[in-house]
Structure 1
Amino acid sequence: MTQKIRETDLYKPVKMFFEAQGYEVKSEIYGCDVVAIKDNNPIAIIELKTKFSLELVLQGVERLSVSGIIYLAILKEPRSGLKKRLNKIIKLCRILGFGILLVTLPKNAGGYVTQILEPLPNRPSNQKKSTRLLKEFKNRHGDPNIGGSTAAPLMTAYKQNALRIVSELKNGYKTIPELRDKTGVHNTASILQRNFYGWFSRVDRGVYELSSTGIQSSQEYASIIHDLINPYK
């Protein structure tokens, strides 16, 4: 039985396609499947789908609030009926200003991308959203997610900073200034006070330790914590 192709299967070829052009690529940032940034070029957003659909077009339209460079990446599959509709799809995307990428996934080889339409640059309609996306992109260490994921919990820059604090608390309680100095996380106080993940317990004013959940998380995310505090090892 042939294994069903998922949107996440399209991510690696798309990532490699943009990296080959000098882009830095990260996935799943504020709902965008893929975000690619290169020097002072506009942010490029790529939405992944195994089939062309109205849902994909609407996702692209929604992303115009964040970036003026939008690509729709679609699986190129012989039996999908895409070939018959391709001219109409190109016409629609040209009107909207979207680029089109076709992703081929051979059975016994790595996938590759063919660009059949260049996007037409537009001005993002919401500069605040665009700035927020760029900030998350820059603050997120590495590319810990897979583009096209839907059910899997996402690793965000906020969660990575919380894990940096977890790492410093493994050997006992510390003050907020100590944690801020050790981790370099400027918003240490708000992360501890908000305690979104339930990982921290307040010992005294300005003093925190790991909760039982935090101790468990230090083990669950051990490899991720190692990469965060030893990025080049």
Structure 2
Amino acid sequence: MGENDHILERDLYAPVKDYLVSRGYSVKGEVEHCDIVAVKGDTLLAVEMKLTLNLDVILQAVLRQRIADLVYIAVPKKGKLLFTKRWKNICHLLRRLEIGLLLVSIRGERFLVEEALDAKPFSREVSRAVSGRKRTSLIKEFEARNGDHNTGGSTGKKIITSYRENAIHIAVLLKKNGQLSITQLKELGTDEKKT
């Protein structure tokens, strides 16, 4: 167990408050059911603190967006969690929801706060540009399939991909016709790019 495993939720308050004060905010705790409320000029910021980043705190943060300009979630930083696919997916969700993320860690006697995600407007165009290859691959696979042979939501079952569809088609043609050349296979309707 690391040092961050012994943090209590209330332990997050002082370091997060200090972090916000250092950025020019006036900060108060437990205001109208918000763990932390901070004000700088006309900007109202709310922070929800939890020991784990889960759906409950994300829902709380979404509700705080009704009243605050910027909303953050503060959680203890747990090293191994930061490198998982699930963590990356949660961060993507928070970006889409325009919710910031503060990670609090202990270094000896000191608490450190780092802003893992800024609470800024989400740009679908920028996100799609970053994921352009995945989007292109998705569309290409969709268009290359001849039928809908898979049940959505199935796990642990083999998926009929466009490649597998084509391989099955070739196997059926070879069984029916015997040995065929690539040209003959293409003439019989196999995928020209995969044959």
In structure 1, stretches of 5+ residues that fail to align are 123-233
CA distance in 2: counterparts of 1:88 and 1:120, whole angstroms: 17
Would you say the 8 A contact 2:101–2:117 is kept in 1? yes
CA distance in 1: counterparts of 2:83 and 2:60, whole angstroms: 22
Equivalent position of 2:190 in the other structure:
none
Question: For residues 74-223 of structure 1, what are the structure 2 equivalents within 5 Å?
Answer: 74-78=75-79, 81-84=81-84, 85-106=86-107, 108-120=108-120
Would you say the 8 A contact 2:74–2:104 is kept in 1? yes
Would you say the 8 A contact 1:69–1:121 is kept in 2? no
The TM-score with structure 1 as length reference comes to 0.47
Shift of 1:121: 5.6
The TM-score with structure 2 as length reference comes to 0.56
CA distance in 2: counterparts of 1:121 and 1:98, whole angstroms: 9
Would you say the 8 A contact 2:36–2:47 is kept in 1? yes
Code of the residue aligned with 1:29 in structure 2: it is: V
CA distance in 1: counterparts of 2:11 and 2:21, whole angstroms: 17
Equivalent position of 2:65 in the other structure:
64
In structure 2, stretches of 5+ residues that fail to align are 123-195
Code of the residue aligned with 1:118 in structure 2: it is: D
Map Cα deviations across residues 177-209 of structure 1 (whole Å, 9 max, x no partner): xxxxxxxxxxxxxxxxxxxxxxxxxxxxxxxxx
Aligned partner (choices 16, 19, 22) of residue 17 of structure 1:
19
**SS of 1:120 mapped into structure 2:** coil
Equivalent position of 1:27 in the other structure:
29
**SS of 2:6 mapped into structure 1:** coil
Q: Identity over the aligned pairs, expressed in percent?
A: 35
CA distance in 2: counterparts of 1:14 and 1:89, whole angstroms: 21
CA distance in 1: counterparts of 2:67 and 2:12, whole angstroms: 22
Would you say the 8 A contact 2:82–2:88 is kept in 1? no
**SS of 2:103 mapped into structure 1:** strand
Code of the residue aligned with 1:6 in structure 2: it is: L
CA distance in 2: counterparts of 1:33 and 1:82, whole angstroms: 24
Aligned partner (choices 36, 39, 47) of residue 37 of structure 1:
39
CA distance in 2: counterparts of 1:103 and 1:86, whole angstroms: 16
Shift of 1:53: 0.6
Structure with bigger gyration radius: 2
CA distance in 1: counterparts of 2:101 and 2:119, whole angstroms: 8
Aligned length: 119
Q: Which has the higher contact order (CA 8 A, sep 6+)?
A: 1
Shift of 1:82: 4.2
Code of the residue aligned with 1:95 in structure 2: it is: R
CA distance in 2: counterparts of 1:76 and 1:70, whole angstroms: 18
CA distance in 2: counterparts of 1:120 and 1:77, whole angstroms: 24
CA distance in 1: counterparts of 2:103 and 2:83, whole angstroms: 11
